[in-house]
Structure 1
Amino acid sequence: MDQVDLPLPAVRRPQEHIDVDAEALRRDLRARVDGEVRFDAGTRAAYSTDGSNYRQVPIGVVIPRTVEAAEEAVAVCRAHGAPLLSRGGGTSLAGECCNTAVVLDWTKYCHRLLSVDPENRRCVVEPGIVLDDLNRQLAEYGLQYGPKPATHPNCTLGGMIGNNSCGSTAQAYGKVVDNLHRLQVLTYDGTRMWVGRTDDAELERRSAGDGREAELYRGLTALRDRYARLLRERYPDIPRRVSGYNLDSLLPEHGFDVAGLLTGSESTLVTVLRAELELVPVPKHSALVVLGYRDICEAADHVPAVLEHEPAALEGVDHQLIHFQQEKHLNTGALEELPDGHAYLMVQFSGDTREQADAKARALVDAKPDDVDHTWYDDEQHIRELWLVRESGLGATAHVPGQPDTWEGWEDSAVPVDRLGDYLRDLKRLYEEFDYGHPSVYGHFGHGCVHTRIPFDLESEAGVAHMRAFVERAADLVVGYGGSLSGEHGDGQSRGELLVKMFGPELIEGFERLKGLFDPGNRMNPGKIVLPYRLDDNLRLGGDYVPWEPDTVFAFPHDGGKFSRAAARCVGVGKCRSSEGGVMCPSYRATREEEHSTRGRARLLFEMVRNDSPVPDSWRSREVRDALDLCLACKGCKTDCPVNVDMATYKAEFLHHHYAGRPRPLAHYSMGWLPAVARVVALAPRTVNALAAVPWVARAAKALGGVAPERDVPVFAEQRFTDWWRERGGPRGDGHRGEVVVWPDTFTDHFHPAIGRAAVEVLEAAGFRVKVPDTAVCCGLTWISTGQLNIARRVLGRTIDVLREDLRRGTPVVGLEPSCTAVFRSDGPELLPKDPDVERLRAQTRTLAELLVERAGDWQPPAVDARAVVQRHCHQYAVMGFEAERKLLERAGVDADVLDAGCCGLAGNFGFEKGHYEVSMACAEAGLLPAVRDADDTTLVLADGFSCRTQVEQAGTGRTPLHLAEVLAAGLRGQEPEPERPAPPGPRALLPLGAAGAAAAGLAVLAAARRSGRGRGRASSRGR
């Protein structure tokens, strides 16, 4: 075929201004695209960065409902000359997922599995489908998609294709480029085609004619012919060469694979519309051997010997990573299963039978050196737990207490495996030369790929220059080893500028010619891979980063007392965007909106404290308020997020300042002041309950209180728990185990007092002397969750006054409501950080189960012998954990199915607030409610949280959940556990007070709450 003169890209460099009329572009996109078109400041802020060190605020975001709608969006962008970025899960570490462009986000709608061909082991997907979601759908066929990055719960196939992703399973299955059959792609100029491997006859056919497709194939043929020799000479012959374009896919030995060529092109050449994937069987059995070594370099030296055993996965982990996880209390159980050593190889084998997998593991163990310790597991639970140690690498090495912040920038280099040990020694010497200490190194050692995060100083000009000098030296080092700058994460901006070191100027020219062939106007994700931005441009921080440092009510002790550092804590790993497992993030699971993920909200808060942000007005920002509106304050992110972003605390702080000196939403008064309202209602609970049962009164009351009309007002108990305690006459029993204080939280005291009575019965049976405060007390939770923090501090201070003598005697405080218990264990010390009695309260507060397990370990709870579906309260999951409850239920003979179903959706005041009902119920329907409905009548439903119980009761399940205390107390009595809940009385209850009097009393409390809230808010107003 004749040589073709290939055009270079347009002269315009990406750094130069591209003039786009954003308003006209927005208008045309909205008129022509079936989807959501968002050019508002909040959305642009949420998409301003990915998982990298870079930040570029987009022009706007388009969320297409169909692939065809995305094609129309590209056409509109073309008409306006607007740059375009096709984005997957947004977790990229090299900066390829942020740009000053129109961002196409596929994840909300275009996430379908379109077809499955089990016989040929193939399927067709849309680009927004998440890897774990795909594999769950493929499970019925016994198939899976092989490559599995650590972000598998939230990374999309489109993003994986864009990055040429790998993961630990690449040892067995290779990269994405090795697992693709075809791609349907769209060029910026509107050419749409399916591409894949191309034999000579098809190549000749597709190259014939005058159309754009023929032009592309002729150009690709010319590129192959022009650069074939250099491709064979300069491309490293290693399994983890991810840097650069896959021009080698055009070579005859790779079948002129155009899909392979476009894989890993990071949205710089085409937009992927659909993909036909090649699938593999799901391994039936696995065995995991963990080998312990003196140091990580020695472990790397042993990799070639381990590879002789043909493992399915081979990962390396150093002691520093283990130490960081210990410091952050991550994967504590799994860390105890590691062998002796200061570095580890994790070696997994697969087999059709357990015997086959075990035989492979045994052969490795028999062949290892005598001084190498090992552990070996072949059960699913241990294997899954140990893999979390490796997959937690990025989160574990970021924001380590007492350590400087670490950053990507040289996080995934790859070298030949037989030179890995020497490379690590040289890399460590380079760390020392640049005074970066001893960063953790870990990664896919079976492919010579090394991950690390380095304590770069990215907030000063000198620090940024030092980082740049290090990266340039590190690039020279890896090229000298015959390696690749990127072994997994791609080039983007962080490595694009360095590619000439690896490939030489002639191949870089070839990359530019390829770019010019597909995108001559340089509108597809400009500045990434080719004609790149400098690696120290567009930094999220940078030498000129001087954030606003506002005064705050919370102390933010884990962020040096600085809200700006808390707002910058998110590293973009995107675990909050997973659809199953854990608690985080319930609102994202309901809406699939980036802005409603923990990451999206963190991005807006980060933008809020910047001085060059699209988000205006600081604490008064409507964009931040709107993003936080659907945050359930469940605190799931406090534990589930790898870097412990605590969005519930950030939301409370923001609301405190946002509404300072001005009226609040009605729900902040009706539910924020619930403890005060409940004390007034206690004067005539039967009357208030009867009024609430009158439809027009209930409607009016809910409208006045900002309560969702779909919700029922909870029934107040006729006798409070504290009233019962006083009538009972106080403590009983010998108390040989000592004294405890049972905390009378608002929800137990006023709504479900039977739980308090049951707890007293159980604790006394276990040998404790029980006390209950004899004055009105409160933890301040409802004021915290509504951002009325000055009031919360005063309430908490009064509580400390009441408990001070008990605290100083070391008396444990038993919390029955998990959200209130969590205030004592977490929020309290951050609201009153200088009070030693608050610290005593934190240290001495226990759940009922914790107290019984820790201080009454020899007490045998009554035999309940029942099955139970158990919903963990989110705050308990995040702050206290649930292990004590598991142990106690097991000792009581309860076969407990502890749901991993996420938040119940009610979440305190959230599910009651007007406008939140649909999201609240969507959260519940994601796991909790189906599990309750599926449980048979003999199965107990357990939920210690008032919100969880209320959600189940009001969802029409016909079930009334029990508290753990009620189950144990029923066992003591030899009875079947039955809930005791207050029921609304009849109309005669109106007689003592009358409807007008009762309504007036309620209105008076609400009005007083409003006045008090406004006055205190104005006095405490802080702002920029």
Structure 2
Amino acid sequence: MSSKIPALKSIRSELSKDWNGIWDNSALAIGLYATDASVYSEDPLAVAIPKDIDAFKEVVRVALKHKTPIIPRGAGTSLAGQVVGNGLVVDSSKYLKKVIEINAKEKYAWVEPGVVRDELNFELDKHGLYFGPETSTTNRCTIGGMIGNNSCGSRSIVYGSVRNHLLELKFIGADGKEHHIGRGIKPDPFVENLCNKLKGFLDDQTLAEIKAVYPKSNISRRNHGYALDCVLQENGELDLCKLFAGSEGTLGVITQAKINLSPLPGKHQALLCLMCSSVDFALKTNISALNYNPTASELIDDNIIRCTENQIGQQENRFFIKGNPGAILVVEFCEEEENILEQKLNGLTKEVVHLGLIADHSIVQGDDMNRVWNLRKAGLGLLSNIPGDAKPVAVVEDTAVDPIDLPAYIQEFNVALQKRNLSAVHYAHAGSGELHLRPVLDLKSDAGRKAFFDIAMDVALLVKKYRGALSGEHGDGRLRGYFIKTMYGERIYKLFQDVKRLWDPEHLFNPGKIVETPHPIENLRFSVHYHKPELNTGFHFRQFKSLQGAVELCNGSGDCVKSEIIAGTLCPSYQATKDEKDSTRGRANILRRTLAKGNPDLNNPELKKALEYCISCKACKRECPSNVDMAKIKAEVSYQNSKNSFKLAQWAISRGYGVLLKARALRAPASLLFPLLRGPLQISSKRSAPNFSFEAIPFIPSKSGIWIYVDEFTAVESPKLVIELQKITQFLKLDVGILPPFESARSAISMGDLKHAKKLIHNNINLLKKYEVNELIGIEPSAYLGLKEEWLDLCGDNHLKLCQELAGKIKGYDSFLLEHFSDHGTPKFNDLESKKPIQIHEHCHHKALVGKPQVQEILKILGYQEVETLDSGCCGMAGFFGYQKKNYQISKAIANNKLLPKIKQDSVLIAAGTSCRHQIKDLKNRKALHPITFIHRTLGL
């Protein structure tokens, strides 16, 4: 690396004074961009993030001049190490997102490389058009990355790959200039020279050899090596776009792309979900399904089905599963005529039932189809949930063979694994003959790394036997270039080297990919020098055994780097800044590097910056398929850094509401404290004071054992809610008592004051033992959901059983009321209010850990018709986070991303979270009602 540093300084100094971009070679940037979604990691030299296309071109040109390797990067979701390397990473995903032109009449679009596939399709939907190729990462993958990887996806049996839709390209070549290629485009002298030399490579003998060793022509998914079999057209001309697709940035850097667009799929759509007893039966079912011309045929094996049982975000997506299948084949049909759809559904079902291939089936239509696809797409992340060091590994995960050969191929594949006492996960694209096959390996061990290579070689030979493709869509990267000689022979491999040398004589475009790749076990994330730190943690990490185990759930797939345009909350700080350091993935990468040092410094500057804007919303706990809980991880890091030097400000925030609870009991003037605390706690002057209240909350006994759990936030700021809730339960003729207020430990947990949190939790458990508790009804989501979450991982072993019992008994006021409400007719609001639209903003912890919009269901029972639970993301307040002067702007930016723009002027606004209501008051000057207050008013109590 050191030899490249002078070149980096020269590059930076030569960029124009007003260079429109970000340049970073800090330890933080290096750590963030050292890896992708693969098993590889290598430190880059530096990271450049150009702010417009001209800056993008300039940095590439100057880097080429100084002979510095260039690694073009989109969303960083590549699975074979395509964007890992010791060069200058040029990231297009943050700024280069311009859709230059949409021509609906001629069905094409010109886009910059950083445009996200799903975001493009949102725009195309207005024109009745669609960009067909897709991957499971479509809500964050970029078009530039899709071209580099020749992406396909679930519907490739209809839409093919990006190669089939790439019309024209503009790219920067080895001469540092931009060039334009595509069929019908007259080549400039530079491109013409490339074409002439490339034609010289492709003589009749070479083409015949290519035809003999490349995958069978009916295998549409082939992304191994360069696509030389596609380049030469019937008229003798070359289509260089087809060569660029799948070239992984090794031939030049894309600046613009013209892509073909398709009409939207047929309006009559359905999924036929076929429950099979085994993967073998599912693959045989797939052969039958393909005769009915589906748009997709996707496999989900029992390993993934089991993983969804405990994954919060996927539990509700299991609705279509019947029985206990060994595998599910999901077959999609999209037809213009409804009767054709019915014929295909009925015909295929009858055929596979007659053949004895399925045990049951489900037909899914409408919005529920997305729930099925979300479960299927979550497969990659779900696989990381297996506790321990051995994980399903991407090594031979996207081989493709003829679908007719697939059952026999998979049988031989599994036999090969069994000989090594291994097993694999099977899922994905059965319809195109490609399954994602992930052997379970421990890459932290010498034996695991050896098995990694041996299995790769075994499978390469097996794929060759079936004339398949070693990679159907995920490409070569650092992983499969080594096996090109095995698959295609020395002569074709040398031809690939010649092609690379022709386009890139200095070997500067993403070196080490496709050709001249390092050995597959070089630069693995977990090297022979990997260390396991011994930390005395505050959390037990009972499920994943250690802090490190919790961090290593992140596989880099990047569900956290989707934008605010995409549904969901994850990751609110990233959505506001678009900085990799503010994503869950970025934080996990820095943490993993820190922990791997054996004696980690958890107070290092890089980690502090990465965790700075984590607002502990817990969206990652739900929306990340791997269940990465960065809120818990951040609390643990804070604990490790402060257990020997807890600062006064941290103490005040951690224990402040406990003090206020006592002050409330003494009826002390707590509201006078806030102005005094602004300075010491660095509270923003733009923040209004909380509404501390001294209203007494009576203890009301319960014969039924149903109690309202009164948390410190409700007791101090909104005690009326307790009385209102109790009156609602009286209206429902229920015997519900009110417990004395408890300090839930939420503030202590969020500040990393875990020793104090444990003390509170143990005290609370002991106090609750004094009451006969059958049900606990919580009010503040962050407080009562702590009983289901952090309490279970903080309490001691002697309290665990009682804690688990309490966790099973706690539920939110909304869940409780929904169970007991029946239709009470027309609301007792005045006519004007009852006709207003009602908008509900859910607390982040409720969205993450409960998910269902229960308040909306209650209000519908009460007669309200126009009720909407907003896809509003996070409010950005996050307790004390939003009060702090240093966080005010980011807090405001998060709110402005999704929540505030969706609030209608004439709506009745409802929000359960104390912080949420405060944020809406400060930034929107609107009063948001708590759902309990709104229901209480509705019932006229």
* TM category, shorter: over 0.9
Residue matched to 2:332: 348
Partner amino acid, structure 1, of 2:915: S
Does the residue aligned with 1:878 lie in a helix, a strand or coil? helix
Mapped contact 2:660–2:670 kept (Cα < 8 A)? no
Which whole-Å CA distance do the structure 1 matches of 2:50 and 2:845 have between them?
A: 36
For residue 410 of structure 2, the aligned residue among 398, 418, 424 is 424
For residue 481 of structure 2, the aligned residue among 481, 491, 496 is 496
Residue matched to 2:875: 904
| Pair 1:755-2:721 in alignment | yes
For residue 569 of structure 1, the aligned residue among 553, 556, 561 is 553
| Pair 1:731-2:700 in alignment | yes
Mapped contact 2:388–2:549 kept (Cα < 8 A)? no
**C-alpha spacing 1:253/1:332, structure 2 compared with 1 (3 Å):** farther
Q: Deviations over 1:292-331 (max 9, x none)?
A: 3332222222333322221111212223322222243553
Residue matched to 2:263: 281
What is the CA distance between 1:888 and its match in structure 2? 3.6
For residue 820 of structure 1, the aligned residue among 783, 793, 800 is 783
For residue 918 of structure 2, the aligned residue among 935, 950, 960 is 950
What is the CA distance between 1:758 and its match in structure 2? 1.0
Residue matched to 1:264: 246
Residue matched to 2:464: 479
Mapped contact 1:631–1:648 kept (Cα < 8 A)? yes
Which whole-Å CA distance do the structure 2 matches of 1:359 and 1:18 have between them?
A: 67
Which whole-Å CA distance do the structure 2 matches of 1:30 and 1:912 have between them?
A: 40
What is the CA distance between 1:512 and its match in structure 2? 0.4
**C-alpha spacing 1:643/1:22, structure 2 compared with 1 (3 Å):** farther
Partner amino acid, structure 2, of 1:751: E
What is the CA distance between 1:357 and its match in structure 2? 3.4
Mapped contact 2:11–2:66 kept (Cα < 8 A)? no
Which whole-Å CA distance do the structure 2 matches of 1:703 and 1:17 have between them?
A: 46
Residue matched to 2:153: 167
Residue matched to 2:892: 921
Which one is further off, 182-191 or 443-452? 182-191
What is the CA distance between 1:777 and its match in structure 2? 3.0
For residue 219 of structure 1, the aligned residue among 197, 200, 203 is 197
Residue matched to 1:583: 569
Which whole-Å CA distance do the structure 1 matches of 2:619 and 2:175 have between them?
A: 44
For residue 964 of structure 1, the aligned residue among 923, 928, 931 is 931
Partner amino acid, structure 2, of 1:955: L
Does the residue aligned with 2:441 lie in a helix, a strand or coil? coil
Which whole-Å CA distance do the structure 2 matches of 1:29 and 1:889 have between them?
A: 63
Which whole-Å CA distance do the structure 2 matches of 1:933 and 1:711 have between them?
A: 23
Partner amino acid, structure 2, of 1:234: V
**C-alpha spacing 1:553/1:376, structure 2 compared with 1 (3 Å):** closer
Aligned residues with identical type, % of pairs? 29
Residue matched to 1:740: 706
Does the residue aligned with 1:909 lie in a helix, a strand or coil? helix
Which one is further off, 790-799 or 633-642? 790-799
**C-alpha spacing 1:606/1:403, structure 2 compared with 1 (3 Å):** closer
What is the CA distance between 1:361 and its match in structure 2? 3.0
Which whole-Å CA distance do the structure 2 matches of 1:295 and 1:188 have between them?
A: 51
**C-alpha spacing 1:863/1:623, structure 2 compared with 1 (3 Å):** farther
For residue 745 of structure 2, the aligned residue among 767, 775, 780 is 780
What is the CA distance between 1:450 and its match in structure 2? 0.8
Partner amino acid, structure 2, of 1:425: Q
What is the CA distance between 1:863 and its match in structure 2? 5.8
Q: Which runs of 5+ in 2 are unaligned?
A: 829-833
- Normalised by the length of structure 2, the TM-score is 0.93
What is the CA distance between 1:850 and its match in structure 2? 2.8
| Pair 1:933-2:904 in alignment | yes
Which whole-Å CA distance do the structure 1 matches of 2:132 and 2:199 have between them?
A: 30
**C-alpha spacing 1:441/1:123, structure 2 compared with 1 (3 Å):** same
Mapped contact 1:328–1:401 kept (Cα < 8 A)? no
Partner amino acid, structure 2, of 1:816: I
Residue matched to 1:804: 769
Which whole-Å CA distance do the structure 1 matches of 2:504 and 2:256 have between them?
A: 20
**C-alpha spacing 1:302/1:145, structure 2 compared with 1 (3 Å):** same
| Pair 1:552-2:520 in alignment | no
| Pair 1:103-2:74 in alignment | no
| Pair 1:364-2:351 in alignment | no
What is the CA distance between 1:680 and its match in structure 2? 6.6
What is the CA distance between 1:827 and its match in structure 2? 0.8
For residue 642 of structure 1, the aligned residue among 607, 625, 630 is 625
Q: Deviations over 1:346-388 (max 9, x none)?
A: 2212223444434443443354442335545463212111112
Partner amino acid, structure 2, of 1:83: P
**What pairs with 1:606-621 in structure 2 (closer than 5 Å)?**
606-611=592-597, 618-621=601-604
Which whole-Å CA distance do the structure 1 matches of 2:408 and 2:824 have between them?
A: 58
Which whole-Å CA distance do the structure 2 matches of 1:24 and 1:41 have between them?
A: 16
- Normalised by the length of structure 1, the TM-score is 0.85
**What pairs with 1:786-865 in structure 2 (closer than 5 Å)?**
786-806=751-771, 809-834=772-797, 835-836=799-800, 837-853=802-818, 857=820, 864=827
What is the CA distance between 1:486 and its match in structure 2? 0.4
Residue matched to 2:394: 408
Q: Deviations over 1:838-879 (max 9, x none)?
A: 33332222211333456xx47667864855311111111222
**What pairs with 1:211-360 in structure 2 (closer than 5 Å)?**
211-225=189-203, 227-236=206-215, 237=217, 238-253=219-234, 256-283=238-265, 284-328=267-311, 331-338=314-321, 341-360=325-344
Which whole-Å CA distance do the structure 1 matches of 2:10 and 2:268 have between them?
A: 54
What is the CA distance between 1:479 and its match in structure 2? 1.0
Residue matched to 1:4: none
Q: Deviations over 1:244-282 (max 9, x none)?
A: 111223212395111110111111121111111110111
Partner amino acid, structure 1, of 2:934: V
Which whole-Å CA distance do the structure 2 matches of 1:950 and 1:26 have between them?
A: 48
Mapped contact 1:669–1:705 kept (Cα < 8 A)? no
Does the residue aligned with 1:397 lie in a helix, a strand or coil? helix
Mapped contact 1:929–1:957 kept (Cα < 8 A)? no
Does the residue aligned with 2:332 lie in a helix, a strand or coil? strand
What is the CA distance between 1:57 and its match in structure 2? 1.2
Residue matched to 2:831: none
| Pair 1:703-2:674 in alignment | no
Which whole-Å CA distance do the structure 2 matches of 1:641 and 1:691 have between them?
A: 40
Which whole-Å CA distance do the structure 1 matches of 2:551 and 2:328 have between them?
A: 34
Mapped contact 1:29–1:73 kept (Cα < 8 A)? no
Which whole-Å CA distance do the structure 2 matches of 1:402 and 1:890 have between them?
A: 45
Q: Deviations over 1:822-845 (max 9, x none)?
A: 211111121124123333332222
Does the residue aligned with 2:885 lie in a helix, a strand or coil? coil
Q: Which runs of 5+ in 1 are unaligned?
A: 1-15, 693-697, 975-1024
For residue 511 of structure 1, the aligned residue among 490, 496, 499 is 496
Mapped contact 2:195–2:238 kept (Cα < 8 A)? no
What is the CA distance between 1:690 and its match in structure 2? 7.2
**C-alpha spacing 1:304/1:799, structure 2 compared with 1 (3 Å):** closer
Does the residue aligned with 2:879 lie in a helix, a strand or coil? coil
Mapped contact 2:621–2:848 kept (Cα < 8 A)? yes
Partner amino acid, structure 1, of 2:509: M
Q: Deviations over 1:541-594 (max 9, x none)?
A: 13432232322111111211x112222210111111112222210011111111
Larger radius of gyration: 1
**C-alpha spacing 1:899/1:534, structure 2 compared with 1 (3 Å):** same
Mapped contact 2:389–2:444 kept (Cα < 8 A)? no
Which whole-Å CA distance do the structure 2 matches of 1:848 and 1:907 have between them?
A: 21
Mapped contact 2:876–2:919 kept (Cα < 8 A)? yes
Residue matched to 2:514: 529
What is the CA distance between 1:467 and its match in structure 2? 2.0
What is the CA distance between 1:665 and its match in structure 2? 8.3
